[in-house]
Structures are given as C-alpha cells and as structure tokens.
Amino acid sequence: MPEEFKQLEIEAVHHDPDFRPKISKIFEVLNNCFKKYSQVTSSSSGPNLRGNSRNNSMQKSRPKRADNIDAYALPDLESFKYMTLTDATKQHKLYDKHGKLVGYVKTAYKCFEAYANLGNTGGTANRNQIKAKYYKALYISRGLVPSPPNKDKIIAELYKEVADDEANEFPEVKVRYEDCLCYGNGVEQDVSEALKYYEKAAEDGVKVAMYNIGNMYYNGVGCKKNIEKAKNYIELAVYNGYEAAIRFRNEYKL
C-alpha cells in the first residue's frame, strides 16, 4: 500500500476536524496513488522479470478494474486543480481592497463545466450538477468567462433546468429565466409563460418577482389587466421592503 495513502488514512480520522485533510487534498493523493499503482502494475508485467508465468496466472484470476478516472464517472479533477465545487462558488465574490477581482474564476468555471456535464445519477451527484449549471450560466451571463457560441441559448437552457428543479435550491433563478422569456433572450419570447415563473418565484419570497407581477397585472402585460391583483402583489413587495414597489405604489396611488 502506498505510503501517501497510509498517511492519508491517519490524517482523515484525526480527532480534531481542523487537522483533517480537505476533500481536494484527498482527491489529489488518491489520484497520485492511482497513477503510481497503474505504472507499477504495467511495468511488473515486462519480459525481464522472473516468474512471468506465475504473474500471468495471477493476473488472469484478477477481476477487471477500471484503468482511468473517467471509468468511475468522476469529473476531470486535475483540469481544475482539485478545486471543490463549494470553493468554486466563492471565487467570483473574492475582491481585494481596491475592488479588483482576485478569485480564480477560470479554474472555477472549469469546475462548473465538469460537474455540469456529468450524467444525472441522482442523489448528491444530481445536486452538484444543478449547482454547477446555475453557476456556469451565471459566469457566462456576467461575462466572467469568454462567451461561447449561442451564448443566450445556453444561458436560457441552463437557467430553465435549474428553475424547474424540484429541490428549488436557487429560487431566484426563476426570475433570471423569466427575463429570458420576457425579452426573448435565447428562447422564443413568451410573456405569459414568464408570468408563471414570476408567480412561482414570488411564492418563494423573491421580492423583485412580487413587484414585477404587480406591474404586469397593473399594465395587463402577458395577462388580463387586474388592478386588485396588482395591488396585492405590490403591497406584498412593499411589505418586504422593495424600494421600487414603494415608489410604484405612491406614484399610482395603490
């Protein structure tokens, strides 16, 4: 057994959690051990070693194993320097005292792409995939990475997947997808469909959605004009402290 692995075993069960290795370190050590082990096993089958017949018979009896990381349906961890998905989500928020972005956004984006492209296997893997898709779309829309071809279409598709996810981890994304529908960015313009996503977001407590629904009902945009509904949604947004709703209520005497 590799010495690095033995040491990792000891550190991983340290009584003080602060001294336990990060998941990124664990992946790095395991990957290095895997590479070394693969090299050793391949070289041990060379023609100059004694007892080749014995080795061959032992190898025949061994069950087949995967010879690369991809066979385990894991992302290419090395391509984004073993950055965890949790750490990746923080990179666009890291600025120095002069307001300059200092986070590793390029590495983070590679992490998002890798997890977003994984097959949907359910459970934690699916949750990671949804999170990665959300941040991938966010990075593209904010211009944090070079724009891919069909930028708007990619953003809209990613936001829709996240908005329709039953776990509802990112309720605000419904508003982002609604904007795509309202203005026809990456999808066919459909204001009535946009209103449905606004209503779902309002139910989740998203203030801007409450205000926008009130505005749409007041002006009859994507729906039949309904002053009573408009008033209810505007009041709800006001109650939650949304400034634009306060100004709207005062201006139109609702």
Rounded CA gap, 209 and 195, in Å? 9
Cβ atoms < 10 Å from Cβ of 188: 8
Q: Which amino acid is at 172?
A: E
pLDDT exceeds cutoff 50 at 69: no
Rounded CA gap, 110 and 80, in Å? 6
Q: Which amino acid is at 206?
A: V
State the pTM of this model. Answer: 0.69
Token duo for residue 244: 């634009």
Quote the pLDDT of residue 67: 45
**What are the backbone dihedrals phi and psi of residue 97, each rounded to the nearest 5 degrees, phi first?**
-70, -15
Mean pLDDT of the chain: 83
Rounded CA gap, 153 and 185, in Å? 7
pLDDT bracket for residue 121 (50, 70, 90)? low
Q: How far is CA 114 from CA 17, 56, 83, 141, 207, in A?
A: 28, 38, 11, 18, 33
Cβ atoms < 10 Å from Cβ of 228: 7
- Which is more confident, 51 or 206? 206
Q: Residue-wise over 52-74: b if at least 16 C-beta within 10 A, else e?
A: eeeeeeeeeeeeeeeeebeeeee
Cβ atoms < 10 Å from Cβ of 195: 20
